Chain A
């Protein structure tokens, strides 16, 4: 049926039937045809593109979701790995710290031991030096004492010893030699 025949039929349709409902059949048919044309145009040119675009969009979203999931998994794995590494590092650090502390204590003990030995040596040397100095001073004191005693005795003898005393002394000496 051609379009103009449909329009004519509608225009010729009596006011009974559909027309009794208050509808304009002609207008109704016209609008129906228009609707069908628009529907066809939409199905022919718009819907495929729209569906394709939506499909593409859906795929992109799906891909994004997959990637997000993968990223989340990777993140979880990374967290796990980092945690493991952190634990290992902590353990290693503890070991190193303990080892270092042990070495430091050993060094400290060694240094203390060396220090004690050195201190003893220095003390012994100081004692020795002091003893030598004491002996030297004692010797000097004896020399000075000897000098003083002799000088004092000589002075007194020179003052007190007369010629008569000297002769008596010589006689006594000669007697001692004779014996």
Chain B
């Protein structure tokens, strides 16, 4: 049996989605292939590969948005617009997560782009700056 690489699988999945095959059907095919090749442990990595391929082809940017407080729709739309502008994709899917340790601010990441503007990151930068030799 010929083993198909993860990259090839991600390309295949995106192409199937592009020609209009239902996502559920594509998912079944992909999972069947992973199971047949005994690679079910690589499912998460394959999903990331598919996200990357979707974004590279400027179709969809799956965006993870992490913040300390829950964001309203206006802010989410602002983020979507920003991601579309930066990546040039047609559609953006936002997966928002809450993380109290961030204190405040927002961290955004897609398959090809990310920025961290949280207070936690700012404080960590401040700590590094104070600890660095020659600063004080």
Residues of chain A at the chain B interface (Cβ within 8 Å): 139, 142-143, 145-147, 149-150, 153-154, 157-158, 161, 163, 165-167, 169-171, 173-174, 176-178
* B44 beta carbon closer than 8 Å to chain A: no
Q: A139-B133, A169-B105, A170-B106 are in contact. List 15 more A-B contacts (CB 8 A).
A: A142-B130, A142-B132, A145-B130, A146-B130, A147-B127, A149-B126, A153-B123, A166-B69, A167-B69, A167-B71, A169-B104, A170-B117, A171-B78, A174-B106, A177-B82
Residues of chain B at the chain A interface (Cβ within 8 Å): 67-69, 71-72, 75, 78-79, 82, 85, 103-106, 115, 117, 119, 123-124, 126-133, 135-136
A170-B71, A177-B117 in contact; A153/B133 too (CB < 8 A)? no
Task: Write the chain B residue with the least CB distance to A176.
Answer: B117
A146-B127, A149-B126, A166-B105 in contact; A177/B69 too (CB < 8 A)? no
- 23 inter-chain pairs at a CB distance below 8 angstroms, sorted by A residue, are A139-B133, A142-B132, A142-B133, A146-B126, A146-B131, A147-B127, A149-B127, A149-B130, A150-B124, A150-B127, A153-B123, A154-B103, A154-B123, A157-B103, A157-B119, A166-B104, A167-B75, A170-B105, A173-B105, A174-B82, A176-B117, A177-B117, A178-B85
Find chain A residues with CB under 8 A from B130 CB: 142, 145-146, 149
CB distance from B84 to the nearest CB of A (A): 12
A167 and B72 form a contact (CB under 8 A): yes
- Cα–Cα distance between A57 and B53 once the two chains are bound (Å): 152
- Cα–Cα distance between A145 and B69 once the two chains are bound (Å): 29
Find chain B residues with CB under 8 A from A178 CB: 82, 85
Partner of A165, one of B71, B104, B131, B132: B104
- Cα–Cα distance between A158 and B120 once the two chains are bound (Å): 11
CB distance from A149 to the nearest CB of B (A): 6
A157-B119, A171-B75, A178-B82 in contact; A163/B69 too (CB < 8 A)? yes
Partner of B131, one of A143, A163, A176: A143
